[in-house]
Amino acid sequence: MVRPTPAPDHREPMDARRYAQLPDPFPMWRGGALHGARIAYETWGELNKARDNALLLFTGLSPPAHAASSPADPTEGWWQRMVGPGLGIDTDHFFVVCVNSLGSCFGSTGPASVDAATGKPYRLSFPDLSVEDIARAGFETVRSLGIERLDTLMGPSLGGMVVLAYAAQFPGAARRLVSISGTPAASPFAIALRSIQREAITGDPEWNRGNYPVDRPPRTGLRLARKLGTVTYRSAAEWQQRFDREPIRADMKRGDPFASEFAVQGYLEAQAARFVTAFDANCYLYISRAMDRFDLSVHGDHETVLRRAQLERALVIGVESDLLFPIAEQRALARVLEQAGVGTEFAPLQCIEGHDSFLIDIERFGRELRRFLSTSTN
């Protein structure tokens, strides 16, 4: 039987990712090492001849490197309206590099990757992951592109921790730092909330101590974790405006006992449903724990650490309604940057969307970023 030649596969997903091989071995901050590890990244704009217009962008806990569309991948990115020509992060001026965090599952090496030594996924045999490792992996990525010094090191949320770990570990590696809704150390309240999310996953029998089949993740646990995550990423004021006590849409009703009855529950359900198929449970556990553990103080007192980093300028943005990375932590960070001799601007924003405001209130965040980034110190 002669098979027909298959038609070109139009379902081939668009992909703008490139990969940086990390040094082998890649030593992990809390011990152990990775072999043959890589980082997935995307870029926008052009690196100039002096190689001094690079902006390295780290992400929050779960996004991929795909911050914005590009010819190679025209799908919308997680910061679509922020990264592009003439936007808050102007790709006419900057060579923007966004990395998928080490330990994540969108092309970078993490617990879901295959360990070359065994031919099987790492799962819980992946070494302890630290925010410092995510920073170092980003550092090696830009080094592989021939960039010695970044113009700007930027990150929101987890990324806001990563940029501090980067500055602490690689003095002189960046001229400017932008921390968005980040923190030098998680509060006990944030730790509590994240640890409950992890326990939702590890308490799901389907998690099976990390040994779930790839196509049968611990859905119940992941769904719960994401729902709680979503609550902590937003604010009561936003949801009052947005949902109030509206009943759930008829098509989202289920017959279960104690099924959702309110629109806000339908929203959580939709968020969670997307997440369960998109993110690996073990990767989530590793990165979430790394966020709890991160503490800039282990590198020395904050002022000394930040002075040693040789930053010229810094922008710290925080949001008044943020439950998870409260504004007081950003205020303290801005103060200590200033004390460390870094010309620092602090932008406390009145957005009502909580921790996620940087993803939503593009106008306000874009204005702050554009203003800061367009100001030269030379």
Q: Which residues bind a copy of itself (CB under 8 A)?
A: 124, 185-193, 195-196, 198-200, 202-205, 209-210, 220-221, 223-224, 227-228, 230-231, 235-236, 239-240, 242-245, 256-258, 260-265, 268, 285, 289, 292-293, 295, 323, 326
> Are residues 121 and 210 in contact, defined by beta-carbon separation less than 8 angstroms?
no
**Cis peptide preceding 205, ω within 30 of 0:** no
157 included as an active-site residue: yes
Selecting among 113, 157, 235, 321, the annotated active-site residue is: 157
- Secondary structure element (H or E) that encloses residue 268, with its range: helix 263-278
3-state secondary structure of 286: helix
Joined tokens for residue 69: 């569309």
CB of 284 to a copy of itself, least distance (A): 10
Smaller CB separation from a copy of itself, 138 or 318: 318
73 included as an active-site residue: no
CB of 219 to a copy of itself, least distance (A): 9
What 8-state DSSP symbol labels residue 15?
-
CB of 260 to a copy of itself, least distance (A): 7
322 included as an active-site residue: yes
Residue 306: alpha-carbon gap to chain centroid: 22
Smaller CB separation from a copy of itself, 208 or 339: 208
CB of 282 to a copy of itself, least distance (A): 9
Residue 27: alpha-carbon gap to chain centroid: 22
3-state secondary structure of 33: strand
> Are residues 91 and 83 in contact, defined by beta-carbon separation less than 8 angstroms?
yes
Among candidates 234, 209, 1, which has minimal Cα distance to 124? 209
Smaller CB separation from a copy of itself, 193 or 369: 193
Strand ranges inside the chain, DSSP E: 18-21, 26-27, 33-34, 38-44, 54-57, 83-84, 89-90, 95-99, 114-115, 120-121, 150-156, 174-180, 313-319, 343-349
CB of 290 to a copy of itself, least distance (A): 11
Selecting among 90, 204, 292, 322, the annotated active-site residue is: 322
> Are residues 308 and 291 in contact, defined by beta-carbon separation less than 8 angstroms?
no
Smaller CB separation from a copy of itself, 261 or 363: 261
**Which residues are known catalytic residues?**
157, 322, 355
